[in-house]
Structure 1
Amino acid sequence: MKKRLLIVCGLVLSMYQASAQTYEIKSPDGRIQIKINNSDKISWSASLNGNLIIENAEAGMDFSASTDFGINPKVKNHTIKSVSENIHAVISHKDSDIKDQYTELSITYQGNYKLNFRAYNDGAAYQFIDEAKAKREVISEKVSFTFPKGSRSLFPQEESMYSHNERLYIDKALPEIASKDFCSLPVLFTTDKAKVLFTETALIDYPGLFLKGNGNTTLDAIFPKYVLEAVDKNGNSDRVQTIKKEADYIAKASGARAYPWRVFMISDDDRTFVESNLAYQLAKPNVLKNTDWIKPGKVAWDWYNANNIFGVDFKAGLNTETYKYFIDFASKNKIEYVILDEGWTKSTTQILDFNPDIDVKELIRYGKEKGVGIILWVLWKPLDANLLQILETYKSWGAKGIKIDYMQRNDQYMVNSYEQIARECAKLEMLVDFHGAFKPSGLERMYPNVMNYEGVRGNENNKWSDEITPEHTVTIPFIRMAAGPMDFTPGSMINKEPKNFSISFTRPMTLGTRAHQVAMYVVYEAPLQMMCESPSIYYKEQETVDYITQIPTVWDETKVLHGSVGNYIVVARKKADKWFIGGMTDSDARELPIDLSFLGDGSFSMEAYADGSNVDTYAQDYKIDTLKVDKNSKITAKMASGGGWSAIITKN
């Protein structure tokens, strides 16, 4: 009896093994290899140069009705193709023309669904496609992956899914990430042979993904539940809600649709994570017919400096005179926009009328006369309650865009709200800056009037903490910025070495040197790039302002010359016929060689902004040198502790 049972089990095992179907694709350059296995589930692995980087990963979706994805999957057919196309970016965060080159495996399963897998030279991605027409709920999605032993993460740990997603990156061995620990995206993992950055894009009508640990080297996705009822916190908050009731599912689904791309940037060169366009390439294409009205640029910003201007014959503050001073400053320096941040409305919930001390219509008229556009800050909660009337009113006044704050959620309703805001603003030809926001997830390609997202622990934190260190500022380009544009809000002119730094809400200062802040204008991608300092201080630092205002906010081409996560970065970017270089270092002083071979033939003038000789004791010390260079010139970026170096290169 036992012998006969063993034979039957052996036959079942043989049949099971025979039924498993395995596919393999490689990146165009052959370095990245993806293996996909279909047995009782869908699993996959990834290798770089023959080294296993993601040992085992699983993909699937659980629905309330009809077919679940990845449960005993039955393959109907599959195709493998090579693609090489060009994408022209409407708003070019790093490259105006992007080579979209990949190998794609598309598997069609019984049950009316597909799984598309792509292998790129800089990573891999997959996406489920639902071809059914059924209305149902998504109960959960299986996104799980296991790294080799010894792997670590720079983990943007969250305390709650109700979050601005403004995190520090905690260096943890993966077994130290317990089952109660979870993070927002993007997140970086380090193995012995390579690094992996995980994020998502084409996030439409679906909740954002968080990632939790298990006390081992496996991590799993978790999602915010579908919100059934949200109420004001303590019954009267203008911006913070309590999620009072949630469903037992994460999303509602109706009919055929594509789900978000799960994106894995894979490289043994840290520079890849800054150069990669994967999140943009995989996003849904632009849906706007006319984009000529979308104008990136710099913004004179009021909230960071608490409207503290001086040397004037009126009382500074939330009033018309102060904002005319901001507009005059912007106009004199060819800064495209001024933001009216919190305080311009009658109250934070009465946002169709303005503070009696601020004549918004007059400011918009005055700005137009001076060639400066006005962007209006609003809280998400009152905006969501009356979106169309509010936007149409702001447009009728002549506002160029809105900055929305305090979303703090990542559930399906909130993701849909982002898209609705982008769509309605596009109809009115208005720009959008998402503050208090989750990371970029592709909407900025679909609606290029979406200029920026915060979702980063940025300069404003200097008002209440000492956490914005040079180590942090040279970490975020490799992680947070890999997902898309980043509203860090650089431009501080009050720069301090650590022993002289202090926290001040109304007179904030930054750790690191002046040259470190200036270099951010090249290193950090933000089509609407803030100038956070008080105009009165900028007037005293006109030489630095004149340098910064030469730097564009969108780019034709990007090259990362040096890069090491959390240590240093040097980026070269081209706009039209000029090159711009930005370098930043952590607390270690560095000298990095600058290879100018990308310049091509001819002679060039280089204006370099560098740390001054006494920057170790006075962080605001800098020097500007102008010299002749060509593609063979030997240049060194010498950076002090917490320092920076930048250059503007013009052909003679």
Structure 2
Amino acid sequence: MNNSLRNLLAALLLATVSTGAFAEQNKVISPDGRLVVNVEDHAGCLYYDVTYDGKQMMQPSLLGVVANVGDFSQNLVYKSVDKRKVENSYTMRSTKASLVHYKANEMSLTYINDKKLPVVVKFRVSDNDIAFRYEFGEVNDRTHILIDQEKTAFRLPSQTTTFLSPQSDPMIGWKHSKPSYEEEYTPDAPLTAKSKYGKGYTFPCLFHVGNDGWVLVSETGTHGNYPGCRLSDYSADKGYTVEFPMQGECDGRGASNAAFALPGATPWRTITVGSSLKPIVETTVSYDVVEPMYKASEQYKPGRYTWSWLIWQDNSANYDDQKQMVDLAATMGYEYVLVDGLWDQQTGRERIAELSRYAQSKGVSLMLWYNSNGTANEAPQTPRNCMNTVIARKKEMRWMQSIGIKGIKVDFFGGDKQHVMQLYEDILSDANDYGLQVIFHGCTLPRGWERMFPNYVSSEAVLASENVFFQEHHAKQEGFELTMHPFCRNTVAAMDWGGTIMNRYMSRDNKSRHRRYTSDVFEMAAAIVNQASIQCIAMYPNNLSELPQHEIDFLKSVPTTWDETRFVDGYPGKYAVVARRHGDKWYVAALNGTNKPLSLNLSLPMFAGKQVTYHYETADKKSLWPKSNVKTTKVGKDGKLKIVMQPMGGNIVLGEA
């Protein structure tokens, strides 16, 4: 090599290093080879990017955290990489699949910051899912670490459109009880759109990367170890970044940053990627990377519940009304009745014990509502201050256990700070000691809790069915909402929507106030599409004489636990078709969220050449609602079945596996 060539190569190398283009690069690839995560450092900063089938799904995005012991987002120096295969199977009683076989490739990257302190960034990549977190060993003589800021970012390609729900301002809404994940989604919005309150977006966040595919971003494994996080508004240079709770949450009480003992780790950030919506609907990543935190104290029972409050509201927490709901549950073969707020005033504790005994004689168990309260909000509904301290909580739970109560619904939390996440964990752990299952309302998104806490059932964390009652606007939006959630909110965690509503008018007499805009079969199908192991079927005594027998028969038999879930067809906010298997029977549910008829040619290979039961609807010029029908039909040998859904209507196909 002559001198001039040597000088040229030396100059090129110097230019490469000085511009930061020279980088340590490591890759981790999914078992099927289609999903690739590439991690590089540039000028001391660490970035990752994601491709699927060779297409860019996430552009280079910043990694790192800033802690009290040092900055782990810049001036980083590569130390080592460790790669291994991860494979395990686990069973679940309360999610979209009863048995999951998880296979992933793991990469752990160790970097040193300018104080010579290490951080490990761990990635796990399965065929359609990415999970990553930051891990810390012992740091000098410290026993714990404070994370003051996450720099973690998500930079989507420029052609991406978004399906997001905004984070609300703190301490607004009903009696200063927000944020509670109850804002409206905006579909097909540009990346550059600003969030409603300027506070970013709640998890999960769904993105459509043009013709290349779909990306779902969320987090899992958060409990008392970390605050609940969200995404910022979009910025052109950073994309979306992980944000901690606002200081004003919880009426300003508590820290907004994170703290955990050493050695320890942050929760997992998750990314689900696919060329279609199939991996989005079928993902189990929320549960794949977490572990149970304790054993179930008993074998918890799934099921259906009746709930007076949705239509009858506050005044129905009296003994006579609740006895009617018990009788209705017994007639329908339902396992539970949820007695909502003010039961302690309108019925009283002694008569609640009497009602519980009566329910048990009918084969039904009660669940009771509680206000989380303390200083978290100003909500006046009682019972209050029974769940916010350990002494009060255990006293109350001991009493419930003594009278045969089987579950609680705890409402109004008002923030995502770490001390609130610890409260969720404490309620769940204590409830398990007394054989109680738990539903949360006015609350945060659950993050892997179905696997972590065996007595956890579901959370609201959605603009739920109560709003269909409250405002006609939301009654008109029900079709949009329930065709949005299978692809976003409900795909990452169980969702207590709060009721398959069979009243056609939002009133006790079923004749006054505004009407329901969805059809009967839409509501029935929603009981399949909405996933929670204990689910509300919001029937009322009047429905027994008003509904066709085939509707009642279906609502008596609809299961709430599933062995397998498959995406069939759909588009967020427009329509959704989901197939779920319970034992040896498949339930295919289709929802039309639009105001126009919709014809589909479904691919149902599980029914190829078989006879199936088909619930469908036909237009009825004499009624505001289409007529529901049921018949037996045969699916083609190719597994194809043509269906027609009425506006805001639905279809159900049932058959043996």
TM-score scaled by length of structure 2: 0.86
Correspondence for 1:233: none
How many Å apart are 1:647 and its aligned residue? 2.3
Correspondence for 1:372: 364
Equivalences, count: 609
The answer on 1:84 being equivalent to 2:92 is no
Correspondence for 1:480: 489
Give the SS at the match of 1:304.
helix
Alignment of 1:90-169 (within 5 A): 91-110=93-112, 111-132=117-138, 133-161=142-170, 162-169=178-185
Closer, same or farther in 2 for the Cα pair 1:506/1:401, shift >3 Å? Answer: farther
Give the SS at the match of 2:388.
helix
Q: Indicate if the aligned counterparts of 1:463 and 1:505 stay in contact, CA closer than 8 A.
A: no
Q: Indicate if the aligned counterparts of 2:16 and 2:22 stay in contact, CA closer than 8 A.
A: no
User: Take 1:628 and 1:20, find their aligned partners in 2: how far apart are those partners?
Assistant: 60
Correspondence for 2:312: 306
Kindly provide the CA deviation profile for residues 207-235 of structure 1, in whole angstroms up to 9, marking residues without a partner as x: 111111245371122111578xx8xxxxx
How many Å apart are 1:632 and its aligned residue? 5.0
Closer, same or farther in 2 for the Cα pair 1:246/1:633, shift >3 Å? Answer: closer
Give the SS at the match of 1:362.
helix
Alignment of 1:396-435 (within 5 A): 396-435=402-441
User: Take 1:505 and 1:149, find their aligned partners in 2: how far apart are those partners?
Assistant: 50
Correspondence for 2:45: 41
Which of 210, 227, 231 is residue 230 of structure 2 equivalent to? 210
Correspondence for 1:579: 586
Closer, same or farther in 2 for the Cα pair 1:184/1:290, shift >3 Å? Answer: closer
User: Take 1:109 and 1:12, find their aligned partners in 2: how far apart are those partners?
Assistant: 24
Kindly provide the CA deviation profile for residues 350-382 of structure 1, in whole angstroms up to 9, marking residues without a partner as x: xxxx74498100111111111101000000121
How many Å apart are 1:511 and its aligned residue? 2.0
Alignment of 1:510-589 (within 5 A): 510-541=516-547, 542-587=549-594, 588-589=596-597
| Alpha-carbon RMSD | 3.0
Correspondence for 2:354: 362
Closer, same or farther in 2 for the Cα pair 1:615/1:393, shift >3 Å? Answer: farther
How many Å apart are 1:76 and its aligned residue? 2.8
Closer, same or farther in 2 for the Cα pair 1:557/1:406, shift >3 Å? Answer: same
User: Take 1:357 and 1:83, find their aligned partners in 2: how far apart are those partners?
Assistant: 51
Correspondence for 2:74: 71
The answer on 1:223 being equivalent to 2:229 is no
Structure 2 counterpart of 1:320, which letter? Y
Q: Indicate if the aligned counterparts of 1:136 and 1:252 stay in contact, CA closer than 8 A.
A: yes
Which of 30, 35, 48 is residue 33 of structure 2 equivalent to? 30
Give the SS at the match of 1:58.
strand
Q: Indicate if the aligned counterparts of 1:226 and 1:413 stay in contact, CA closer than 8 A.
A: no
Correspondence for 1:183: 201
Q: Indicate if the aligned counterparts of 1:225 and 1:250 stay in contact, CA closer than 8 A.
A: no
User: Take 2:294 and 2:610, find their aligned partners in 1: how far apart are those partners?
Assistant: 39
The answer on 1:637 being equivalent to 2:643 is yes
User: Take 1:358 and 1:462, find their aligned partners in 2: how far apart are those partners?
Assistant: 34
Correspondence for 2:220: 201
**Structure 1 spans left out of the alignment, 5+ residues:** 1-6, 231-240, 309-315, 347-353
User: Take 1:17 and 1:150, find their aligned partners in 2: how far apart are those partners?
Assistant: 27
Give the SS at the match of 2:432.
helix
Correspondence for 1:345: 344
How many Å apart are 1:485 and its aligned residue? 0.6
User: Take 1:306 and 1:344, find their aligned partners in 2: how far apart are those partners?
Assistant: 14
User: Take 1:287 and 1:214, find their aligned partners in 2: how far apart are those partners?
Assistant: 35
How many Å apart are 1:55 and its aligned residue? 0.8
Give the SS at the match of 2:542.
helix
User: Take 1:357 and 1:305, find their aligned partners in 2: how far apart are those partners?
Assistant: 24
Closer, same or farther in 2 for the Cα pair 1:79/1:86, shift >3 Å? Answer: same
User: Take 1:536 and 1:617, find their aligned partners in 2: how far apart are those partners?
Assistant: 19
Structure 2 counterpart of 1:216, which letter? A
Kindly provide the CA deviation profile for residues 159-211 of structure 1, in whole angstroms up to 9, marking residues without a partner as x: 32541101211132112227934111111112221221111000122111111
Which of 600, 603, 624 is residue 595 of structure 1 equivalent to? 603
User: Take 1:548 and 1:36, find their aligned partners in 2: how far apart are those partners?
Assistant: 50
Give the SS at the match of 1:516.
helix
Closer, same or farther in 2 for the Cα pair 1:626/1:15, shift >3 Å? Answer: same
User: Take 1:582 and 1:301, find their aligned partners in 2: how far apart are those partners?
Assistant: 23
User: Take 1:539 and 1:37, find their aligned partners in 2: how far apart are those partners?
Assistant: 66
Q: Indicate if the aligned counterparts of 2:619 and 2:626 stay in contact, CA closer than 8 A.
A: no
Give the SS at the match of 2:402.
helix
Structure 1 counterpart of 2:542, which letter? S
Q: Indicate if the aligned counterparts of 2:164 and 2:185 stay in contact, CA closer than 8 A.
A: yes
Query: Identity over aligned residues, as a percent?
Result: 24
Closer, same or farther in 2 for the Cα pair 1:255/1:333, shift >3 Å? Answer: same
How many Å apart are 1:271 and its aligned residue? 2.6
User: Take 2:299 and 2:154, find their aligned partners in 1: how far apart are those partners?
Assistant: 43
Kindly provide the CA deviation profile for residues 231-288 of structure 1, in whole angstroms up to 9, marking residues without a partner as x: xxxxxxxxxx622x554x5122332112110011111211321111111212x22233
Closer, same or farther in 2 for the Cα pair 1:94/1:372, shift >3 Å? Answer: same
Closer, same or farther in 2 for the Cα pair 1:635/1:358, shift >3 Å? Answer: farther
Structure 2 counterpart of 1:608, which letter? Y
Correspondence for 1:321: 320
Q: Indicate if the aligned counterparts of 1:344 and 1:358 stay in contact, CA closer than 8 A.
A: no
Structure 1 counterpart of 2:340, which letter? D
Which of 451, 454, 471 is residue 457 of structure 2 equivalent to? 451
Correspondence for 1:255: 262
User: Take 2:612 and 2:72, find their aligned partners in 1: how far apart are those partners?
Assistant: 57
Give the SS at the match of 2:343.
coil
Give the SS at the match of 1:645.
strand
Q: Indicate if the aligned counterparts of 2:607 and 2:635 stay in contact, CA closer than 8 A.
A: no
User: Take 2:87 and 2:494, find their aligned partners in 1: how far apart are those partners?
Assistant: 25
Q: Indicate if the aligned counterparts of 2:300 and 2:455 stay in contact, CA closer than 8 A.
A: yes
Closer, same or farther in 2 for the Cα pair 1:494/1:331, shift >3 Å? Answer: closer
How many Å apart are 1:139 and its aligned residue? 1.1
User: Take 1:328 and 1:473, find their aligned partners in 2: how far apart are those partners?
Assistant: 29
User: Take 1:469 and 1:105, find their aligned partners in 2: how far apart are those partners?
Assistant: 43
User: Take 1:329 and 1:75, find their aligned partners in 2: how far apart are those partners?
Assistant: 65
Correspondence for 2:65: 61
Give the SS at the match of 1:462.
helix
How many Å apart are 1:629 and its aligned residue? 5.6
Q: Indicate if the aligned counterparts of 1:279 and 1:482 stay in contact, CA closer than 8 A.
A: no
How many Å apart are 1:554 and its aligned residue? 0.7
How many Å apart are 1:454 and its aligned residue? 0.5
Kindly provide the CA deviation profile for residues 10-55 of structure 1, in whole angstroms up to 9, marking residues without a partner as x: 8496378597311011112222111101341221001111111111
**Structure 2 spans left out of the alignment, 5+ residues:** 1-9, 171-177, 374-384
Q: Indicate if the aligned counterparts of 2:292 and 2:454 stay in contact, CA closer than 8 A.
A: yes
Structure 1 counterpart of 2:318, which letter? N
How many Å apart are 1:142 and its aligned residue? 1.3
Structure 1 counterpart of 2:68, which letter? S
